[in-house]
């Protein structure tokens, strides 16, 4: 519609036209998506809204074709009708805009619930998710089917609590996704979603946030089960990020397109003859390919159907040949915008994988990305920014940028014990509270107190494709409270959960990360302090005992004896001393500690196994 010259002329004659990048301006996207849903009952992109000069939406929709089609009004007719209404029925239009804004302001005006936050909320959420689970193909719901890593992470936590069926749901989901065409079996990483319920044919776009969260999910699945397949998927996903989405200076780009040469999936799909020539017929059939194709126009999307075929002996060599051949194709374009929040997710995944797998290169990459974001995406006054591209920084960051980068720095600290990262985590957390916390109603606004005035100040409560700013703020502030004993961190973090409590109870599938934060708050925690020479093997053995486990409700600090700077930044370390000249680990709960231990086996017993 926008490419039609007559429509473009009409747009420019009668309207001020504004195009919004929803990734750079999630605040506008949130406000006006709520408006579209309020006015039409559904939403989606592309999203078209008509606003008063002060930003109040009075008419909206998603896609409008150039001409009337399939019951949809043509965009030319929409433009003419809206223009006529604005000129002839101005008062009604303004009144409609006010009613819409009043309706969509309800989420931002929610107050903290006085109902208790307890494990009954977690059990009820688990029961609802169990009913919605796809027992055959894993995941939740039908086609199109999206990965929901935050929800599956909650199921991993549920397994630790003994909630029935949790690990079975995790395994089915991880196995089916790893076998599906949603996973790139040649180059690593995951596509955006599957158009079917079987995870077979994907929408081929690859997003940084999906791959960061899924890499961490498979890492945790490996830690719980010891299944090497999950470790392999995590490693291949992270290697994809490092190979294809990393800026030379360390930050991570946003995404890769679904199409190349104007055709969706052309880079990834295969003709039968090419597959057989490169990989052999056994490998081709193992990946569900056939001469007539398993997708459209005789093409094959590689996946591993439930056919019981054994893995060919030469599969790894064949995949390498396929990769080399595919690299000669025209590649999908990369959105080389660097977003602070999405980089925070990637940094957490790399830092946690590096320490759990004993891969220092991943930790180095996490530190490099954190350093890049905190320099290139930060003003001289310390204000974190939302985006950066090709040397040009974007506007002020949002609550999710601050929360996810604070969580990233905390993960970097727990992987290196470099005090720089703890200092950055605390600074970001304090700015998060100062700029975004709603001291009257609780929770966190999406925009900072220094942001431009919009028709309303939105709150991002729902965990969608990425965790919401409120959910991550709750988690990271609670984790920092465990390390520092700062009550203000805990108060602000819990307020975000209390604001969302009623919504969590109604629709737990939309609050996967928030449920993890609730679990962190209501369940027993473990605060682990290790003191000793951080370069010496006896100390590192204690640290690795923690690094190797899936302990979602544990925090870890380590430092040298008598390090005053470490004790200041991480009060959990204050007063900790070695035992009989040996490094010591203190396992505490709310700063009440068990007897210190010096052997990994003793620490394992205190950690629960």
Q: Map 264-317 to HEC letters.
A: ECCCCCECHHHHHHHHCHHHHHHCCCCCCCCCHHHCECCCCCCCCCCCCCCHHH
Confidence of residue 103 (pLDDT cuts 50, 70, 90): confident
**How confident is the model over 475-496, as pLDDT tens digits?**
999 999 999 999 999 999 999 9
Cβ-contact 476, 406 below 8 angstroms: yes
Average pLDDT, the chain: 95
**How confident is the model over 276-292, as pLDDT tens digits?**
999 999 999 999 999 99
Question: What are all long-range contacts of 123-131, with beta carbons under 8 Å and residues at least 24 apart?
Answer: 123/163, 124/505, 124/508, 125/154, 125/504, 125/505, 125/508, 125/511, 125/515, 126/154, 126/155, 126/158, 126/163, 126/166, 128/508, 128/509, 129/154, 129/155, 129/169, 129/508, 129/509, 130/165, 130/169
**How confident is the model over 139-153, as pLDDT tens digits?**
998 999 999 999 999
Other C-beta atoms lying within 10 Å of the C-beta of residue 438: 21
Please state, in angstroms and rounded to a whole number, the distance separating the CA atoms of residues 473 and 478: 8
- Assigned token pair, 416: 């290196």
> Strand pairing partners for 255?
207, 335
Question: What are all long-range contacts of 306-313, with beta carbons under 8 Å and residues at least 24 apart?
Answer: 306/179, 309/285, 311/286, 312/280, 312/282, 312/283, 312/286
Chain position carrying tokens 């919504």: 503
Cβ-contact 484, 422 below 8 angstroms: no
Please state, in angstroms and rounded to a whole number, the distance separating the CA atoms of residues 490 and 512: 20
Q: What is the pLDDT of residue 609?
A: 57
Please state, in angstroms and rounded to a whole number, the distance separating the CA atoms of residues 472 and 243: 27
Look at the alpha carbons of 357, 421, 467, 589 in this order and tell me if their dihedral is positive or negative: positive
**How confident is the model over 296-355, as pLDDT tens digits?**
999 999 999 987 778 999 999 999 999 999 999 999 999 999 999 999 999 999 999 999
Please state, in angstroms and rounded to a whole number, the distance separating the CA atoms of residues 185 and 305: 13
pLDDT mean over 106-133: 92
**How confident is the model over 3-54, as pLDDT tens digits?**
899 999 999 999 999 999 999 999 999 999 999 988 988 788 889 999 999 9
**How confident is the model over 493-503, as pLDDT tens digits?**
999 999 999 99
Question: Does the pLDDT of residue 108 top 90, yes or no?
Answer: no
Please state, in angstroms and rounded to a whole number, the distance separating the CA atoms of residues 506 and 571: 38
Q: DSSP assignment, residue 595?
A: P
* Residues in CB range of 455: below 8 A, 6 or more apart: 31, 54, 55, 56, 57, 101
């Amino acid at each position: 519609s926008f490419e039609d010259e007559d429509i473009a002329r009409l747009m420019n004659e009668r309207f001020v036209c504004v195009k919004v990048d929803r990734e750079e301006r999630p605040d506008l996207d949130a406000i006006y998506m709520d408006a579209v849903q309020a006015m039409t009952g559904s939403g989606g992109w592309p999203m078209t809204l008509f606003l008063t000069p002060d930003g109040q939406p009075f008419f909206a929709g998603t896609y409008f074709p150039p001409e009337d089609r399939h019951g949809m009004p043509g965009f030319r007719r929409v433009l003419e009708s809206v223009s006529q209404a604005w000129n002839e029925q101005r008062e009604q239009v303004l009144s409609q805009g006010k009613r819409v804004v009043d309706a969509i302001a309800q989420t931002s005006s929610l107050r903290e619930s006085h109902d208790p936050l307890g494990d009954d909320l977690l059990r009820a959420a688990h029961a609802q998710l169990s009913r919605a689970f796809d027992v055959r193909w894993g995941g939740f719901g039908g086609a199109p089917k999206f990965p929901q890593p935050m929800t599956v992470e909650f199921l991993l936590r549920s397994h630790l609590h003994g909630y029935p069926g949790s690990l079975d749901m995790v395994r089915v989901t991880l196995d089916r996704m790893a076998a599906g065409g949603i996973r790139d079996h040649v180059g690593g990483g995951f596509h955006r979603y599957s158009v079917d319920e079987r995870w077979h044919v994907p929408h081929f776009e690859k997003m940084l946030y999906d791959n960061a969260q899924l890499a961490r999910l498979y890492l945790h699945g490996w830690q719980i089960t010891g299944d090497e397949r999950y470790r392999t998927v995590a490693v291949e996903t992270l290697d994809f990020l490092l190979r294809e989405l990393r800026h030379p200076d360390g930050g991570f780009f946003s995404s890769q397109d679904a199409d190349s040469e104007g055709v969706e999936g052309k880079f990834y799909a295969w003709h039968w003859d090419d597959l057989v020539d490169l990989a052999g017929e056994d490998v081709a059939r193992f990946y569900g390919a056939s001469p007539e194709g398993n997708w459209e126009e005789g093409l094959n999307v590689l996946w591993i159907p439930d056919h019981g075929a054994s893995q060919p002996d030469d599969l790894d060599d064949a995949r390498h040949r396929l990769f080399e051949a595919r690299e000669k194709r025209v590649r999908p374009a990369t959105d080389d915008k660097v977003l602070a929040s999405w980089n925070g997710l990637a940094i957490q995944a790399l830092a946690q994988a590096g320490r759990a797998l004993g891969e220092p290169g991943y930790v180095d990459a996490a530190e490099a990305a954190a350093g890049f974001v905190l320099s290139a995406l930060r003003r001289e006054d310390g204000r974190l920014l939302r985006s950066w591209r090709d040397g040009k920084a974007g506007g002020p960051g949002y609550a999710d940028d601050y929360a996810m980068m604070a969580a990233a720095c905390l993960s970097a600290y727990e992987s290196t014990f470099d005090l720089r990262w703890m200092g950055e985590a605390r600074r970001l957390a304090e700015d998060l509270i100062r700029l975004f916390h709603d001291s009257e109603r609780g929770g966190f606004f999406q925009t900072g107190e220094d942001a431009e005035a919009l028709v309303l100040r939105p709150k991002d409560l729902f965990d969608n494709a990425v965790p919401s700013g409120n959910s991550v703020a709750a988690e990271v502030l609670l984790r920092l409270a465990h390390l520092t004993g700062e009550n203000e961190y805990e108060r602000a973090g819990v307020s975000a959960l209390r604001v969302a409590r009623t919504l969590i109870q109604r629709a737990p599938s939309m609050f996967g990360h928030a449920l993890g934060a609730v679990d962190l708050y209501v369940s027993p925690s473990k605060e682990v302090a290790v003191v000793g020479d951080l370069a010496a093997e006896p100390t590192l053995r204690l640290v690795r005992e923690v690094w190797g486990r899936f302990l979602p409700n544990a925090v870890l600090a380590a430092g040298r004896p008598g390090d005053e700077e470490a004790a200041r930044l991480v009060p959990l370390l204050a007063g900790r001393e070695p035992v009989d000249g040996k490094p010591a680990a203190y396992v505490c709960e709310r700063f009440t500690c068990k007897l210190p231990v010096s052997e990994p086996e003793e620490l394992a017993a205190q950690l629960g196994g």
